[in-house]
Structure formats: C-alpha cells, structure tokens
A and B are shown apart, each in its own frame.
Chain A
C-alpha cells in the first residue's frame, strides 16, 4: 500500500482569531498509597485555529497527563483542577455525556501504540463507520462513503481491501495512518497526538509528519504534538512548550525556542540529545536523572541537574516574559540573562 507524498512547505495560515483552545492553571494530582503526588503544576497555554503546538518533555514531565486531563481520560485516582476552555466553554471535569459531544468529534486524540488503540476483533470498516454513526448519526452508507473518502485522502492504496481487513494485518505505519483517519473523520477542530511516531521507523515517521502537515493545510486543523523528539517539534510546530517535572520550563514560538533559548533545561536538551547536525565533540551530557513524582525537589525541578543552580532555585521560578523578544516568550528561571 503505497503512500508517496511530496514534502510540502509550511505555508499554513494561522488564524489571528481568538484562541480555539485555552488551558488555564491546570493542575493534576494523584492519590497513591504513599500520599498525594502532583503530576502537572500550574500549566497554561492557548491554541488558535490552524496552529500547531509542540509539547516537549521526558518521562515524568507531565506532558501526557496534561493531554489526558484535557480529554477527560485520567485514571480513577487522579484529579484535575483549572480550566480547559474549548471555544469559550470549560470542558474540564464535565460529566461524561456532555464531554462526549466534544471529545471525539471536536477534540480527537491519537496515541502512541496503534495496536492497542484498535480493536483486534473488528474489521477496519466497522471501527471507522462506528465513529461516524455514533457521533453524527450518519447512516451506514453515508458513514462508509465518508470513511472511504478519508482513506483515499490519506493515499492509502486499495481502501476497499483495507476496509475488510483486521488491524493485525497491517504494519505499524499503516495502523497509525488508520488511527489518524479515524480521528479526522468527524473533522475535529483539534487533533492531539501523543507520541504518535515514537514506535515507528524514521522513514515512516517522515510520511506521517508530511501527512499531518498536508491535512492541516487542507482542513485548518489545530494540532497538539506531544513528543520527546526535538527534531519532530522543529518540523511541525508553530509554538513550543517545554515541560519538566510537571512544570512548564519554556514556552515560545518555535524559532525562539531553538534560536533564542532562555531556559537552561532547553539549552541542555538541545546540546545533549544526539543529533545528526552536531559535531561529534558537541555532545554534552546532563548529569543526574529526571525526577520521579515521589521525589520532586522543592523549588525548580531542574535545579539538581542545572549548572547554574544556586540558592534562589530552592523556590520555584515564576514564568516570566522575555522582554526583548518579538513574540510571547515565557520561561521559568531565576537567571534572566540568556544562558551561554
């Protein structure tokens, strides 16, 4: 099943309208036998139509929990506070019936492992049409036609054979494309992709990324891409949010994050993750390891590993605005001058 795509340049128009999705002061807590743990602290961002937000973080950064909180998919022992405003209405902690009107049709999510997201016992046709029949009261025929059209749009060859097959008959890349197709069937306003390409090979990843860009241009869908891969973020995002230990470390337009880095963690990340364009000598390892939720340091979560940490860092740094920047550029560090 071929899917040849010419790499499209980024010319998507980001709407200058008010924000489509606005998150304000989101906090996520977990109740465990060892006490209450906090996975996300005081997180805020806003997303406009047609815009892509890249959320970068490692394990324990809280990036996935943020998305799950927004979609109302947190575990039973978790509690979310704050506001998630979708088109002006707060959808955080809505009762399931009301949430289901938004979640799915307007706010769709694609997960890391397509195998566990697809039902292995149902054919693809059934899984795709079910989405439309439930959310849009489409008839079976209408749903089928719409699903076929979507598969064609994704350049999936032989969509009819695809319809009649089971998930295990496809490769990882195909399954992820099917998942994206399913997520896009109801033409959502926002697509949240949680590490969608981590389990895929790099050449297949490039195809999926091209696909997302193309779809964004055609439909104006906003995308939230959660990943640990800085390259992926650079190739897709308009704005980037860097998370660590449950907090936002830096939040700016993509260019500013990469060329005008302010936070020591972002800088350390850019220098320590092996990249093709690095010279060999340039790899600088960050000492220590990411904090676990049980052992969160007081104050700035990155302080134990930061070369510039001092006594001030015992208290968490508030997000402050970069004054000489062109666009909104926030970072949470007591040391306001740019890191070397």
Chain B
C-alpha cells in the first residue's frame, strides 16, 4: 500500500502558483485609537501541483499553512503573480468569480464536529454539494448518490438520518470526507484532517484517504503539523516557517537528507517511540520561541533560531533554489556537496 510513485514533472500541473501572498489586517491598538497592522501570513510561495500526487505541507504555528489552503481554495483574498487552477488563470481575480473551480477543488477541515452543521442530518450534509452544483437531480437520485458515497468512506446506510453530535469524531470526519468527494473533484485540500482525532483513529482516516486517492485518482494537498502523518501520506513535502517556504522535495529524500536546517530541526525534535535511541540522543535544540508573525525577523525568517546563521542570513532573504533533487531557501544548506 505504498503511495504510487509521483508522476514526472514534465506533465502539465493542475495548479501553478507564483509569489502567493496573504495579508490580514490585525487590530493592534493598545489604547483608544484603533491601529491596524498587516499580518503577512504567507510571504511569496510558489509551487506546482501535479495530478495524482499528494503534496504534504508541514510547519509549526504561525507558518501560514492554513492561510495557504484557504487562499488556494479562494476562501480568502490573496495576491500573486500567478495563480492557475486547471489552466484557468485566476491571478488576482475576485473571489466571487471563482465559481467553476469550486466543483473540482474541495476541502476537508480539521475539527470534524464543528465542520458539520449541527442542525442538519447526515443526508442533508453530504447532499449539499449536489444541491448546490447539480440542482437537476431528484431527491431519490441524491439519496442514492449519498448512500454510495457513505459506503465508499466506510460508513453504513444507517447513519443517514443521524446528527453530527450522535456520532464519534472518526465518523464525523468520514462524513466530511464523503461531502468532499461526492462531486468527484480532482483535488482535495485537507487541513489537519486527523489532528483532532484519537490516535488510534488517525490511522483509519489516513488509510481511507490513501485508498480514495487510488480509487478516484485524486490529487491531495495534506496540511499537518505532524511530520509522521505527513510522511505516511505524501509524495512530496513542503516545509513552511513564518509564511515562507523553507524546503520542497520528494518525501524520501527530504526525510532522510534534508537540505534545510529547519527541516533537520523538525525531524530531530520529534520524539521517537524508542527509549534506547531517545536516551542516547544528542543534538542541539532550537533556541527561543517561534517569532510572532506580526513581527517577523529580517532577512531569513529562520535566522534567529538557526545555529548555522551568520550576518548574511540576518540581512538578506535567501532566494528559493529549485533543482531536481532538492529545493530550498537557505544560505547555508545541509547539502553534502
């Protein structure tokens, strides 16, 4: 059940993004006078998404991965020099005109219980995309489609008339996934889909997503703070920090030989379920806390915590070097050459 090998980059990408920026106005007033500052949640990200692959996006709090997902879905406004979904140029197009994309790009949310309307039963929740995009269907046809989708996500027909609060977290997340796949989209963006679930249920949902990807030839963007989960489901992985892309590469290479010091720090920080190894572990921890996204460091955003940083890192932001084997933004990468 290994994720199948990713398609070669020569293929036409489903999504092309260049220099994507997301800004939020934030109320920063201390006293009476209102003062609004701009929070740059995403600072110029560029990448392509290819058919049939799973792109994992990993990072800690404040890295902007959720904002990235919402911007790609067109839920929040963003600026970019290029944003193309399925060859449709949506660069800087206002969100109301994104309509056609909504059929082919769906989203699965983090909290299974709050992403479902508590006043609607399962049938109504899962059939909502059908009612929105295919109004010509009869109620019978919709019900049949919903039942078919329920079986696909491993639920039984008996949950059809139940309400979210009667079901467990794992079941609710399956319903969220069912709602996302019923229109047979091409791409699904998963925003921390297993983080709110019990550990013994996480594996079930991960297996489900992999299975659906194979069966329906889906492309997934999988966002998580949990490196282990990302490792199990992704083909390529993007590492983000304070709104900037630190590294992007094939999963095997990135986890074995990361190019960016931050990626290495993340991998080191995850405790392994192996007491002997943990006891004899020896490495330097990152110093300090993650800076606030309102006040990011100058130059390379990671330089305040990096033990390889020097004067250049504090002054100049490194540009993204893309190559066949590894793509990273660092003045002092961990490459052997």
Contact = CB atoms under 8 A, between A and B. Distances in A.
Whether chain B is bound by chain A comes out as yes
Nearest to B61: A201
B273 A203 contact: no
Interface residues of A, number: 56
A275 B272 CA distance: 7
A232 B275 CA distance: 9
A102 interface: no
A277 B269 contact: no
Given A202-B60, A206-B268, A273-B200, 17 more contacts: A4-B284, A9-B279, A9-B282, A58-B198, A58-B200, A205-B271, A229-B271, A231-B278, A234-B275, A235-B278, A258-B274, A268-B200, A269-B200, A276-B228, A277-B272, A277-B274, A285-B203
A305 B284 CA distance: 41
B320 to A, nearest CB: 22
Interface in A1-18: 1-7, 9-10
Contacts of B212: none
Nearest to A172: B61
B273 A258 contact: yes
Nearest to B281: A7
Interface stretch (B10-18, B80-88, B287-295): B287-295
Contacts of A7: 281-285
Contact of B284 (A6, A171, A228, A233): A6
Contacts of A206: 268-269, 271, 285-286
7 contacts: A3-B288, A203-B60, A210-B285, A258-B274, A276-B255, A277-B274, A289-B200
Interface string B205-238: 0110000000000000000011111011000000
B204 interface: yes
Identify which of A174, A206, A209, A278 gathers the most chain B CB atoms within 10 Å of its CB: A206
B282 to A, nearest CB: 6
B26 interface: no
Given A7-B283, A269-B200, A231 B271 contact: yes
Contacts of B268: 206
A202 B289 contact: no
Contacts of A5: 285
Interface in B169-219: 170-171, 198-204, 206-207
A307 interface: no
A281 B269 contact: no
B290 A201 contact: yes
B306 to A, nearest CB: 12
B170 to A, nearest CB: 5
B223 to A, nearest CB: 15
Contacts of B287: 2-4
Contacts of A201: 60-61, 225, 290
Nearest to A275: B228
B2 interface: yes
Interface in B1-47: 1-3
A246 B84 CA distance: 52
B299 to A, nearest CB: 18
Contacts of A268: 200
A201 B290 CA distance: 9
B273 A234 contact: yes
Interface string A130-147: 000000000000000000
A289 B201 contact: yes
Contact of A231 (B1, B265, B266, B272): B272
Nearest to B278: A235
B119 interface: no
Contacts of A317: none
A10 B280 CA distance: 8
B100 interface: no
B198 A290 contact: yes
A59 interface: yes
B225 A230 contact: no
B198 A274 contact: no
A202 B199 contact: no
Contacts of B335: none
A234 B274 contact: yes
A255 B272 contact: no
A217 interface: no
A149 B255 CA distance: 40
Contact of A286 (B203, B281, B282): B203
A173 interface: yes
A284 B305 CA distance: 37
A58 B199 CA distance: 7
A280 interface: yes
B85 to A, nearest CB: 29
A274 B193 CA distance: 14
A296 interface: no
Given A209-B271, A231-B271, A173 B289 contact: yes
Nearest to B60: A201
A272 B292 CA distance: 35
Contact of B198 (A10, A59, A209): A59
Contacts of A173: 289-290
B311 interface: no
B267 interface: yes
A209 B285 CA distance: 11
B204 A274 contact: no
B263 to A, nearest CB: 11
A283 interface: yes
A112 interface: no
B256 to A, nearest CB: 11
A258 B270 contact: no
A255 B277 CA distance: 11
Nearest to B226: A274
